Amino acid sequence: ALITGATGGIGEATAQVYLREGAKVMLVGRSADKLAETRERLGHTDATATFATDAADEAGVRESVAATVAAFGGLDIVFANAGTEGHVKPLTDLTTDDYEQVLRTNVVGPWLTIKHATPALTERGGGSVIVTSSIAGAVGFPGLSAYVASKHAVNGLTKTAAIELAPANIRVNAIAPGMIDNRMLHSIAGQIDEDHADAVLEGLAPHISMQRLGRSEEIAELALFLGSDESSYCTGSVHLMDGGYVAA
């Protein structure tokens, strides 16, 4: 398996469950130091390797796939999980650079990962691609226009890739997490109100049907299902995992 954004909460948690089930995992992220720390925490150094690159660097993405095949003999599962929240600002206050940074990481990144992983997956007779979307791909959030736009785009990419790659027996699905208690949500809360970020986080639960934030480990279990043969008839789907936020 290859996981981008592997040093984040969801990425590391997913690596842990994949390793638990006997997979070998290539951890991909921007920081070599953070990747080394993540690999050490996972504790399965015989079944893991790391590759440092930006998710939207085409040469780096291509090389990360090649490194995975070289290290493990092939590639069966791809989790395009790298993402950024960007700046929390009204859309009229964002710069072109602000917008493009988010779109490059959140849209161009997954596209490049799928593009360059497809030959390796095809060589194995097929496989599973999972893309991290968000509830922001289903509803809008003021102050997060670039992020919301990027996740709507990810949903479209997922559905189109699923159609195009089905003849190669490659399934493509997206996970749309809700309010997950991890770095990204804490960053958004801090940008909303730097002095009262904890209060912002506490104020989210009443808007969620299950009255609590989610955990990265819960998302990881869905990524395990989608990466496995248990989901063999599942492709082109966007799977909300949000504690009932959108339903409410």
For 158-168, the pLDDT digits (tens) are 999 999 999 99
Give the integer Cα–Cα distance in Å for 168 and 170: 5
pLDDT at residue 233 greater than cutoff 90? yes
**Which residues, in sequence order, are CB contacts of 224 under 8 Å at separation 6+?**
14, 17, 18, 21
One-letter amino acid for residue 218 of the chain: E
Question: Which residue did the predictor score with more confidence, 227 or 85?
Answer: 227
Enter the tokens of residue 24.
């070998």
Beta bridge partners of residue 2, listed in sequence order? 26, 78
DSSP, collapsed to helix, strand or coil, labels residue 25 as strand
Contact 40, 117 (CB under 8 A): no
One-letter amino acid for residue 213 of the chain: L
Residue ranges in 73-108 assigned as alpha helix (H): 96-103
Span 97-110, mean pLDDT?
98
Of 58-67, 92-101, 197-206, where does mean pLDDT reach its minimum? 197-206
In the prediction, which pLDDT does 183 show? 87
pLDDT at residue 185 greater than cutoff 90? no
Tell me what the pLDDT averaged over the chain comes to: 96
Report which of 74, 73, 37, 72 is spatially closest to residue 52, judged by C-alpha positions.
37
pLDDT at residue 113 greater than cutoff 90? yes
Strands 77-80 and 2-4: parallel
First to last CA, the chain: 35
Rounded to the nearest angstrom, the gap between the alpha carbon of residue 121 and the centroid of all alpha carbons in its chain is 18
147 catalytically annotated: yes
Enter the tokens of residue 156.
């479209």
- Backbone φ, ψ for residue 48 (5° rounding): -130, 155
User: Above pLDDT 90, what percent of the chain?
Assistant: 90
Report which of 137, 132, 127 is spatially closest to residue 110, judged by C-alpha positions.
132
Residue keyed to tokens 């710069």? 95
Catalytic residue among 99, 147, 233, 245: 147
- What order do you get walking across the sheet with 48-52 strand by strand? 48-52, 25-29, 2-4, 77-80, 127-132, 170-177, 238-241
Instruction: Catalogue all structural domains in the chain, each as residue range(s) with its CATH number.
Output: 2-179+215-241 (3.40.50.720)
In the prediction, which pLDDT does 218 show? 98
Contact 49, 95 (CB under 8 A): no
Burial of 197 (0-12, 13-18, 19+ CB in 10 A): middle
The model carries a pTM of 0.95
